[in-house]
């Protein structure tokens, strides 16, 4: 999913996602075989215009009808079919909506919606899927009743009133960001380590950020402080990254700056290439406004994070010329 999200962020569509193209190598699952990839507008690949490459049992209905105009949502359909391979009991009818027994069936249904616009993005899908995998693994119960109640209420955040948001903000303000659940006090943090913060859904974070008021600002600041102060299991660092990028993508300049500083700290301390690439993508001159780039520059200097930012850039061999000018200057300044 990380590989697929990176591919989509760069503007590409895989177009032939199926189990044969998901390989286990060097202790990681990796996305492979880009022979059918659709590049961003204005870029070319070796496929000729009339070439069509896809695997019928994993192909989205709209992709069958118009292979050369496939959108990222076509890859989501294929991913849903892979989930069906794992969790489904019935054979699939190609190009149709799929399902399976249990809570994962709901995710499969969303991935294989016949209307591509109704399928989730990789970012949203990851959060939903991880939450359900924790649930079906028998680890979903939250011992802290108040935290459990709020996690349940967050599933209907779309219907919250201002009073609901205010009540949640008061709950959030009193959260102990260092709190751990029993049995997880000394290990690196992952989804079962805290009663609330590790399980806060990305979709709920987006709704809170989009309020763009004092309530959302306080919640964002505390969440970013938590993301900076913890040491996460490597795979869970990617989940935290997803939530921080959601804050960046949906927040005002102040929220974007807090999220970016947390991402720099997360990427450098955990040496996670996925995190580094996610943050640097958002530092590109075509992704960030001069105002936000200036804010990030000032915050990096204030927090003395120049070496951490430099580490992220050079560890993944990022093209410095793509960065916003204010941020590219940090590399020159730190290099002397």
Residue with the two structure tokens 């990176």: 6
Alpha carbons within 13 A on the beta-carbon side of 54: 25
Phi-psi region at 3: left, alpha or beta (left = phi > 0; alpha = psi -120 to 50): alpha
3-state DSSP of 16-85:
CCCHHHEEEECCEEEECCCCCCECCCCCCCCCCCCCCCCCHHHCCHHHHHCHHHCCHHHHHHHHHHHHHH
Distance CA 60, CA 67 (A): 10
- Using an 8 Å Cβ cutoff, are 87 and 100 in contact? yes
The residues, ordered by sequence, that sit 6+ positions from 66 with a Cβ below 8 Å of its Cβ are none
The predicted structure's pLDDT at residue 333: 58
Average pLDDT over residues 160-173: 94
Residue 334 — very low, low, confident or very high, per pLDDT cuts 50/70/90? low
Distance CA 212, CA 218 (A): 10
Q: In Å, how far are 150, 241, 308, 331 from 300, measured between CA atoms? A: 34, 18, 9, 12
Whether 142 has a pLDDT exceeding 70, the answer reads no
- With vertex at residue 61, the alpha carbon angle to CA 60 and CA 67, rounded to the nearest 5 degrees, is 75
**In this predicted model, which residue has the larger pLDDT, 252 or 335?**
252
Distance CA 256, CA 174 (A): 24
Residue 54 — very low, low, confident or very high, per pLDDT cuts 50/70/90? low
Whether 288 has a pLDDT exceeding 80, the answer reads yes
Q: What tokens does 6 get?
A: 């990176």
Average pLDDT over residues 169-182: 90
The predicted structure's pLDDT at residue 107: 92
Q: What is the pLDDT of residues 3-36, one digit of tens each?
A: 898 889 888 999 899 999 999 998 888 999 887 8
Domain boundaries, the chain: 2-124, 141-334
Other beta carbons within 10 angstroms of residue 13's beta carbon come to 22
The predicted structure's pLDDT at residue 43: 52
The predicted structure's pLDDT at residue 302: 96
Whether 141 has a pLDDT exceeding 80, the answer reads no
Q: What tokens does 199 get?
A: 């399980």
The residues, ordered by sequence, that sit 6+ positions from 272 with a Cβ below 8 Å of its Cβ are 234, 237, 238, 241, 266
The predicted structure's pLDDT at residue 42: 46
Q: In Å, how far are 15, 109, 234, 241, 275 from 24, measured between CA atoms? A: 20, 26, 17, 23, 21
The pTM score is: 0.74
Distance CA 296, CA 254 (A): 9
- Using an 8 Å Cβ cutoff, are 74 and 80 in contact? no
The beta strand positions in the chain, using DSSP E, are 22-25, 28-31
Whether 137 has a pLDDT exceeding 80, the answer reads no
pLDDT, averaged across the chain: 88
Q: What is the pLDDT of residues 217-239, one digit of tens each?
A: 999 999 999 999 999 988 789 88
Long-range contacts of 6-9 (CB under 8 A, 24+ apart): 6/274, 6/277, 6/278, 7/31, 7/37, 7/75, 8/72, 8/75, 8/121, 8/122, 9/278, 9/281
As a CATH number, domain 2-124 is 1.10.510.10
The predicted structure's pLDDT at residue 41: 58
The predicted structure's pLDDT at residue 336: 46
Average pLDDT over residues 136-161: 80
């Amino acid at each position: 999913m990380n590989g697929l999200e990176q591919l989509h962020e760069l503007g590409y569509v895989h177009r032939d996602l199926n189990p044969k193209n998901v390989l286990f190598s060097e202790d990681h699952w990796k996305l492979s075989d880009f022979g059918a990839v659709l590049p961003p507008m204005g870029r070319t690949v070796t496929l000729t215009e009339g070439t069509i490459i896809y695997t019928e049992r994993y192909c989205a209905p709209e992709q069958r009808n118009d292979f050369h105009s496939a959108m990222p949502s076509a890859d989501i359909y294929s991913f849903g079919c892979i989930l069906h391979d794992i969790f489904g009991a019935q054979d699939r009818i190609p190009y149709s909506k799929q399902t399976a027994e249990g809570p994962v069936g709901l995710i499969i249904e969303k991935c294989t919606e016949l209307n591509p616009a109704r399928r989730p993005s990789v970012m949203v899908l990851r959060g939903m899927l991880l939450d359900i995998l924790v649930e079906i693994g028998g680890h979903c119960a939250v011992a802290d009743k108040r935290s459990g109640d709020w996690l349940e209420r967050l599933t209907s955040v779309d219907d919250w009133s201002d009073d609901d948001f205010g009540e949640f903000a008061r709950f959030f303000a009193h959260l102990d960001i260092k709190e751990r659940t029993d049995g997880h006090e000394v290990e690196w943090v992952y989804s079962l380590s805290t009663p609330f913060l590790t399980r806060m859904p990305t979709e709920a974070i987006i709704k809170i950020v989009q309020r763009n008021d004092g309530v959302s600002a306080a919640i964002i600041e505390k969440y970013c402080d938590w993301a900076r102060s913890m040491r996460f299991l490597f795979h869970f660092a990617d989940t935290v990254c997803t939530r921080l990028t959601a804050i960046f993508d949906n927040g005002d300049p102040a929220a974007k700056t807090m999220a970016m500083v947390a991402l720099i700290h997360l990427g450098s301390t955990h040496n996670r290439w996925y995190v580094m690439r996610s943050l640097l993508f958002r530092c590109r001159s075509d992704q960030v406004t001069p105002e936000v780039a200036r804010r990030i520059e000032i915050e990096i200097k204030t927090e003395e994070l120049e070496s951490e930012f430099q580490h992220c850039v050079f560890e993944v061999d990022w093209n410095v010329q793509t960065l916003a000018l204010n941020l590219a200057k940090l590399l020159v300044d730190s290099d002397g």
